[in-house]
Amino acid sequence: MTDSNSTDSNSTGSNSTETARALLLHCLDEAIAAAHPARCLVPHLPAPGQGRLIILGAGKAGGSMAAVASRFYREEHGVDPSRIVGLAVARHGYGEEAPMIRMVEAGHPVPDQAGIDATIDTLKIAADAGPDDDVLVLLSGGGSANWIAPAGDLTLTEKQAITKALLRSGAPINEINCVRKHLSRIKGGRLAMMARNARSILTLAVSDVPHDDPAVIASGPTVPDPSTLADARAICERRGIPLPETAKALLNDPLNETPKAGDPAFVRAEYRIIARPIDALEAAAAAAAAAGYEPVMLGPDVEGEAREVAAEHAGMAREMAAAGRKVAIISGGELTVTIKGEGHGGPNQEYALALALALDGAPGILGIAADTDGTDGGRGEATDPAGGLVDPTTLARARAAGLDPAAMLADNDSTKFFATIGDLVQPGPTRTNVNDCRIILVG
């Protein structure tokens, strides 16, 4: 159950505002539930073959996917544990007990040593796959940070610095992952190359990226990589990413290019997406419709600077309010924040703060923006907030608490803003990840 820990708003808001706030949280709950592996994974799990079943998982849903798979093979098929080799890596705080599958928690969004150690073991397991073995890859967003195996002489410290610089640059996820793939021994199809002797490789993925591109989800470890070394170099130059000599050497080495379509490693590889951002948004839309709101779907692939998109959506909401419409404006995708201040936050919290400023207390309009994985930017802790909630009293309550909303937006300090007024959205680890969910109720 998601939670906005508001206190004073509960005592000052009208009944209609409180009803709408509760509906926003309910819609978000429905969105998250629709994309949880407990609901969507089992229909896609294959029956075990005659050889070993090698289960490799990564990402924010890595723990829950591993737990579902473990129950399936133990309870539905009674598979002897000796026939299963399993290792899953999830973000710290996102692991789940999954008998027969070793569970490791590692850093996100900045990788750590636990991720490196687990990824090295993952590569060894994949390389050991034989012609009678089936490899099942359970993949979700967050896998790019959890499966971390720097190529060449690149160190963990150097990889962490590059990751932080990319995150601060405002680069979209496809650009970030392009660079990651060309500095890695597992990303960009390289896991499939390691497991190329297996009888089959089946990847079941929870998508968290715009357009559901398998090459971008968790940096595409089991699919051909359409991006190139030249693309990665151009991104680093355009974004002003400082690179150590070890990284420059990798990005200038033609032998370090990722495998492309047509490589024999992908002949026996299959890829299925089992949950998409649109699934979550449609669940939120159904909940809003059941409460009497007309859903206005902007789609799951919205991108752009968080504060700019918020201003655009606020204008849309004002127009619909002026027309007397009762609507729920729903959007997903992954917004970006170009960090220029010293505060803390994330794209959903920044969007919500910018939305509050753009709406300026407009009556009858409320909004919520949250990451379905349960954490929005932040410091990599499982307790980080997922987003923020906005109602017509937001700015008044903030100013009464001594806050300057515009100054805090300029300082990228959205977490402090919403924490102070009690409107952080904090569901805790949801153990799934289908990107952002933003809902604006009008009327």
Please give the sequence-ordered ranges of beta strands (E in DSSP) within 152-305, or none if there are none.
200-206, 269-275, 294-305
Token couple for 36: 């949880």
pLDDT tens for 118-158 read 999 999 999 999 999 999 999 999 999 999 999 999 999 99
What confidence score (pLDDT) does residue 381 get? 85
How would you classify the pairing of strands 387-390 and 365-371? Answer: antiparallel
What confidence score (pLDDT) does residue 7 get? 39
CB atoms within 10 A of CB 131: 8
What confidence score (pLDDT) does residue 9 get? 41
Q: Which of 161, 291, 156, 180 is nearest to 229 (CA)?
A: 180
pLDDT tens for 4-32 read 654 344 444 468 999 999 999 999 999 99
Q: Which of 441, 393, 443, 442 is nearest to 25 (CA)?
A: 441
What confidence score (pLDDT) does residue 11 get? 40
Residues near 189 by beta carbon (within 8 Å), at least 6 away in sequence = 220, 221, 222, 223, 224, 225, 258, 259, 260, 263, 265, 266
Rg (CA), the chain: 22
The H or E element that residue 327 is part of is strand 327-336
The full DSSP string for 242-271 is ---HHHHHHHT-GGGPPP-TT-GGGTTEEE
What confidence score (pLDDT) does residue 380 get? 74
Token couple for 423: 């409107």
Q: 0.75 cut: is pTM over it?
A: yes
Token couple for 196: 């190329």
Residues near 226 by beta carbon (within 8 Å), at least 6 away in sequence = 215, 260, 261
Token couple for 245: 């000599």
Token couple for 327: 């609507």
Helix, strand, coil shares, percent, the chain, to 5: 45, 20, 35
What confidence score (pLDDT) does residue 8 get? 42
Do the Cβ atoms of 438 and 378 come closer than 8 Å? no
* CA 352 remoteness from chain centre: 18
Do the Cβ atoms of 271 and 218 come closer than 8 Å? no
What confidence score (pLDDT) does residue 408 get? 98
Positions in the chain whose pLDDT score sits under 50: 6-13
Q: Which of 134, 139, 136, 216 is nearest to 178 (CA)?
A: 216
Do the Cβ atoms of 108 and 146 come closer than 8 Å? yes
Cα–Cα dist 300/310, whole Å: 15
